[in-house]
């Protein structure tokens, strides 16, 4: 009979980029059970509605996560605008879409680098993050920040992007594509990468649906599910099609994210060509009325849900967020069970975890 051993995994670990913690039950090298511990970095952000009015809460929402910061702020603003019936200017919606796709680019290139690091592929890690730095340069030029931007606010955006800058960004897109080509080719075709990822962490379409997977985790298992199809911001005019793979393993999740890099470049190019002229911000008067509103968006990691409840004052009654990492943790635990100990880090990374998003 195999001997069973219980070992802690995380929250501090040389491979894990996030402070996630498991108790792993092993039989030799095979994992038979994994128990996650949630709450290690809980910050109580949702309670800050008592101290910050609905306008300044946009700053707090953006700080839920440093990687998904813009879309967190945008999702909060969409929820407040829906609650108050605010009509956002068209140009602001297109600018939000451009910044959202830039966020997807920098998030996916960051994740690819972390995956390479987990495999011990340090040169691939550095090249992936070098590409990400080029995206952050565009953020810095257009918003003034590289991680936290503070550009999205109820009623629109605080900054416009002039035609000259938009043209310069459009001119950079071919270079971004060439840089991504060089990195993507290694991830998709290198034998050492395939040896670590192909056939590892298989999750069938039925299992992905049953576990409630979202984002690339779901689409890599054949589920055509992308919240951009609902048409929020300018996506309704762009006609976004979900990037779907049917390999159902870790390699398929890499392929989905790589293909989404090219999709984001195409969407940014279209936005720059089609963006209308006009104002970028309307003044929001009054306070959120009594009532509630849900906003659903597609973060780089998957569907994120924002819930706000007003009470007629300038302070919200409730503010709740359901993040994609929270939705994908059950399927990740399912994948870890039955795997080898050496594959745990890769299986954790396969959902692109963000614990600061999950433990607000």
| The pLDDT of residue 288 | 93
Instruction: Decide if pLDDT at 17 tops 80.
Output: no
Say how many C-beta atoms besides its own lie within 10 A of residue 338's C-beta: 11
Task: Report residue 191 as tokens.
Answer: 């034998």
| The pLDDT of residue 14 | 64
Domains delineated in the chain: 53-352 (1.10.645.10)
53 within 8 A of 154, measured Cβ to Cβ: no
Tell whether the torsion through CA atoms of 169, 171, 175 and 181 is positive or negative: positive
Q: For residues 275-304, give the mean pLDDT.
A: 95
Q: For residues 142-169, give the mean pLDDT.
A: 95
| The pLDDT of residue 42 | 74
| The pLDDT of residue 96 | 98
As a whole number of angstroms, the longest Cα–Cα distance in the chain is 72
Q: Give the pLDDT band of residue 232 (cuts 50, 70, 90).
A: very high
Instruction: Please state the length of the chain.
Output: 360
Kindly report the average pLDDT of the chain as a whole number.
92
294 within 8 A of 306, measured Cβ to Cβ: yes
Query: What tens digit of pLDDT does each residue of 277-286 get?
Result: 999 999 998 9
Q: Give the pLDDT band of residue 2 (cuts 50, 70, 90).
A: low
Tell whether the torsion through CA atoms of 199, 204, 210 and 214 is positive or negative: positive
pTM, entire model: 0.94
292 within 8 A of 309, measured Cβ to Cβ: yes
Report how far residue 53's alpha carbon sits from residue 5's, in angstroms, rounded to the nearest whole number. 50
Report how far residue 315's alpha carbon sits from residue 308's, in angstroms, rounded to the nearest whole number. 11
248 within 8 A of 221, measured Cβ to Cβ: yes
Report how far residue 249's alpha carbon sits from residue 246's, in angstroms, rounded to the nearest whole number. 9
The residue ranking higher by pLDDT, 107 or 15, is 107
| The pLDDT of residue 11 | 76
Task: Report residue 141 as tokens.
Answer: 């030029």
Query: What tens digit of pLDDT does each residue of 51-75 get?
Result: 899 999 999 999 888 888 999 999 9
Three-state DSSP at 181 gives helix
355 within 8 A of 325, measured Cβ to Cβ: yes
Instruction: Decide if pLDDT at 182 tops 90.
Output: yes
Q: Return the percentage of the chain with pLDDT > 70, whole number.
A: 98
Q: For residues 199-211, give the mean pLDDT.
A: 94
Q: Quick one: how far is CA 352 from the chain centroid?
A: 8
Q: For residues 139-162, give the mean pLDDT.
A: 95
Q: Quick one: how far is CA 133 from the chain centroid?
A: 17
The residues, ordered by sequence, that sit 6+ positions from 308 with a Cβ below 8 Å of its Cβ are 54, 76, 79, 80, 83, 288, 292, 293, 316, 318, 319
Span of 163-177, 302-316, 339-353 with lowest mean pLDDT: 339-353
Task: Report residue 319 as tokens.
Answer: 């503010």
Q: Give the pLDDT band of residue 167 (cuts 50, 70, 90).
A: very high
| The pLDDT of residue 21 | 82
Identify the residue whose tokens are 């962490």: 201
| The pLDDT of residue 344 | 87
| The pLDDT of residue 46 | 81
Q: What are the CA-CA distances from residue 215 to residues 31, 88, 323, 326, 355 (Å)?
A: 26, 27, 11, 12, 16
Q: Return the percentage of the chain with pLDDT > 90, whole number.
A: 72
């Amino acid at each position: 009979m195999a001997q069973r051993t219980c070992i802690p995994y995380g929250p501090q670990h040389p491979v894990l980029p996030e402070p996630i913690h498991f108790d792993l039950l092993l039989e030799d090298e095979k994992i038979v059970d994994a128990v996650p511990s949630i709450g290690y970095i809980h910050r109580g952000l949702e309670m800050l509605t008592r101290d910050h009015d609905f306008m300044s809460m946009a700053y707090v929402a953006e700080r839920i996560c440093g990687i998904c910061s813009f879309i967190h702020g945008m999702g909060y603003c969409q929820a407040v605008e829906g609650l108050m019936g605010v009509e956002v200017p068209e140009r602001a919606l297109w600018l939000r879409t451009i910044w959202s796709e830039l966020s997807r680019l920098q998030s996916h290139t960051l994740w690819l680098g972390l995956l390479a690091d987990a495999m011990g592929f340090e040169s691939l890690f550095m090249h992936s993050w070098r590409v990400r730095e080029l995206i952050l340069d565009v953020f810095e030029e257009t918003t003034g920040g590289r991680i936290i931007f503070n550009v999205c606010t109820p009623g629109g955006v605080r900054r416009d992007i002039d035609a000259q800058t938009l043209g310069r960004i459009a001119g950079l897109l071919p270079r971004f594509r060439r840089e991504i080509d060089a990195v993507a080719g290694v991830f998709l075709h290198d034998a050492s990468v395939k040896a670590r990822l192909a056939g590892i962490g298989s999750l069938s379409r039925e299992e992905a649906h049953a576990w409630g997977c979202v984002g690339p985790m779901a689409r890599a298992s054949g589920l055509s599910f992308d919240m951009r199809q609902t048409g929020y911001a300018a996506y309704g005019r762009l006609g976004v099609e979900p990037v779907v793979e049917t390999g159902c393993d870790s390699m398929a999740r890499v392929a989905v994210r790589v293909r989404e890099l090219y999709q984001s470049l195409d969407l940014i190019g279209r936005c720059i060509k089609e963006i209308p002229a006009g104002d970028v911000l309307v003044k929001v008067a009054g306070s959120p009325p009594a009532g509630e509103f849900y906003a659903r968006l597609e973060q780089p990691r998957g569907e994120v849900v924002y819930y706000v409840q007003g009470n007629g004052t300038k302070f919200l009654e409730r503010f709740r967020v359901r993040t994609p990492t929270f939705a994908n943790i059950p399927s990740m635990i399912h994948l870890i069970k039955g795997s080898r100990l050496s594959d745990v880090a890769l299986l954790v990374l396969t959902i692109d975890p963000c614990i600061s998003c999950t433990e607000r």
